[in-house]
Amino acid sequence: MDKSIVERFSKLDTTSVSDAMDSIGKPCGLLGLKPVNPGTVICGRAFTVHYTPCGEVKGTVGDYLDDIAAGDVVVIDNGGRDYCTVWGDLMTIVADRNKVAGTVIDGVCRDIPTVRKLGYPLYSKGCYMVTGKDRVFVDYTGKPVSISGVQVKPGDIIIADDTGVICVPAELEEKLIGIAESIAEKEGRIEAAVRSGASLKAARESVGYHSLQTKK
Residue 13 identity (one-letter amino acid)? D
Could you give the CA distance from residue 131 to residue 58 in angstroms, rounded to a whole number?
A: 14
Predicted pLDDT of residue 141: 96
Q: What is the pLDDT of residues 93-113, one digit of tens each?
A: 999 999 999 999 999 999 999
Contact assessment for residue 116 and residue 36, using Cβ atoms and an 8 Å cutoff: yes
Predicted pLDDT of residue 52: 94
Predicted pLDDT of residue 1: 66
At how many degrees (to 10) do helices 14-23 and 173-195 cross? 120
Could you give the CA distance from residue 214 to residue 89 in angstroms, rounded to a whole number?
A: 43
Reported as half-sphere exposure (CB side, CA atoms, 13 A), residue 69 has a value of 11
Predicted pLDDT of residue 165: 98
Predicted pLDDT of residue 212: 75
Contact assessment for residue 143 and residue 133, using Cβ atoms and an 8 Å cutoff: no
Predicted pLDDT of residue 206: 84
CA dihedral 50, 7, 11, 141 (to 10 degrees): 0
What pTM was estimated for this model as a whole?
Answer: 0.92
Q: What angle do CA 96, 87, 1 make, to 5 degrees?
A: 55
Predicted pLDDT of residue 215: 74
Predicted pLDDT of residue 211: 75
Phi, psi (rounded to 5 degrees) for 140: -165, 160
- Give the chain's residues under pLDDT 50: none
